[in-house]
Amino acid sequence: MSTANKPKETSYIEAISQALWEELERDGNVFMLGEDIGYYGGAFKVTEGFLDKFGPERIIEMPIAEEGFIGMAIGAALMGMRPIVEVQYADFISCGWDQIVNVAAKMHYRTRDAVPVVIRGPSGGGLRAGPFHSQSPEGWFAHVPGLKVIVPGTVHDAKGLLKAAIRDDNPVLYFEHKYLYRRIKEVLPEEEYVCHIGAAKVQREGSDLTIVTYGAMVQTALQAAEKAQAGGVSVEVVDLRTVFPIDKDTVLNSVAKTSKAIMLYEDTRTLGIGAEVAAIIAEEGFEHLDGPIIRVSAPDAPVPFSPPLEDFFIPQVDDVIAAIDRLSAY
């Protein structure tokens, strides 16, 4: 077969670039703010070529001043623009914390004014990048009413959910997992599509047990499910996609079918997204359960640098298999 006929595969990072590009083309109110996003094309090259196409009025390079430019994005959004902020690593979003949780998150509640701002950045570990370039900040923000938080785990969703975020009238935090950037590829639909914020997706159907997960752990869950299948256990993988708001129905429907649930997340254990989903299942799906809800997550520690430490820290396929074995005994 000639490769010429093969449909083109898109990587996770290309999907993000495409979503930004298409939205910048579609809506003149959309513009970007961030460090090194112009001439350099961004630390991870997400915006390579954007400056040439859209010009310095829409691809605006910022000094190192996160609190300043996140606040500015909020101000421009209140004036009817649709700014997208790139933080160089998601970890640095902590420098703009106050503007996000106090100004953006609480505006509509008080005044009914829309704040259509997207703040996005590369999150997550696995790249030996140490405690300040590997964090999973979604839990910090999912706890703040007024914010929507997206962590896409597939190429398809990376594109469709970013478009949805840009079109949403609320402040949306979009954490792209940098481990996935160039590691996963998919053939995307040729026609335009937008995903729905707040809808989970069953990424693999199964009947014995449900894994609820999101982000890079979707891949880990799918690998574990494949392995478990060989051992005769049929695993369903529910990808939350949006970690706030949480799609309860998809989660509860799956648990109603399988009666067993594992929460898999890369963030630290206590008060993580999986802890919240476990609470939802315990409250609203109790009668379906045949065993304990098990969390497989990072431990309550900073993300360490050294390879053996980081491998211990980040949930691995074998950790998920161990949890599947444990739960299968019920």
Partner 1 sequence: MDIKPIEPGAIELLDMYYYMRLGRAIEERLELEYKGGKLPSAIYLGRGQEAIEVGAAYALEQGDVLAPTHRDMISQLPRGLTAKEVFTNHYARANSLTRGKGEANYQGDLKRGLFATVSMLPDFYPVATGAALAFKLRGEKRVAMPLCGEGATSRGDFHESLNIASVLNLPVVFVVINNGFAYSTPPFKEMKLSDVAERAHAYAIPGVVVDGNNIIECYLEVKKAVERARDGGGPTLLEAKTLRMRGHAGHDAAKYVSKELIREWAQKDPIDRFEKHLTNQGLLDEAGIKDMTGRVTQEVAEALKFAEESPYPEGQEAVTDVYRE
Ligand X SMILES: Cc1ncc(C[n+]2csc(CCOP(=O)(O)OP(=O)(O)O)c2C)c(N)n1
Please report the beta strands in 42-171, taking only residues with DSSP state E, as ranges in sequence order.
59-61, 82-86, 118-123, 148-150
Does 35 bind ligand X (CB under 6 A)? Our answer is yes
Minimum distance of partner 1 from residue 98's CB (angstroms): 10
Whichever of 83 and 126 has its CB closer to partner 1, that residue is: 126
Residue 133 binds to partner 1 (criterion: CB under 8 A):
yes
Contact mark string toward partner 1, 241..280, x via CB under 8 A: ----------------------------------------
Whole-number Å distance between alpha carbons of 233 and 2: 38
Q: Using the CB atoms, write b or e for 182-196: b if 16+ within 10 Å.
A: eebebebeeeeebbe
Among residues 28, 49, 131, 231, the one that binds partner 1 under rule CB under 8 A: 131
Q: Which does 111 bind (CB under 5 to 8 A by kind): partner 1, ligand X, none?
A: none
Which positions from 79 to 98 touch ligand X by CB under 6 A, shown as an x/- string?
---------x---x--x---
Which of 213, 205, 278 minimizes the C-alpha distance to 235?
205
Q: Which does 310 bind (CB under 5 to 8 A by kind): partner 1, ligand X, none?
A: partner 1
Taking CB under 6 A as the rule, does residue 64 contact ligand X? Answer: yes
Hey, which residues are catalytic here? Answer: 133
DSSP code at position 103: I
Nearest to 238 by CA among 179, 292, 280: 280
CB of 96 to ligand X, least distance (A): 9
Binds partner 1 (CB under 8 A): choice among 31, 89, 174, 175 = 89
Exposure string of 94-116, with b = 16+ CB inside 10 Å and e = fewer, is eebbebbbebbbbbeeeeeebbb
- Cα separation, 64 vs 132, in Å, equals 16
Nearby residues of 314 by Cβ (< 8 Å), 6 or more positions away: 125, 126, 266, 298
Among 23, 66, 208, 266, binds ligand X (CB under 6 A): 66
Q: Interface with ligand X by CB under 6 A: which residues? A: 35, 64, 66, 88, 92, 95
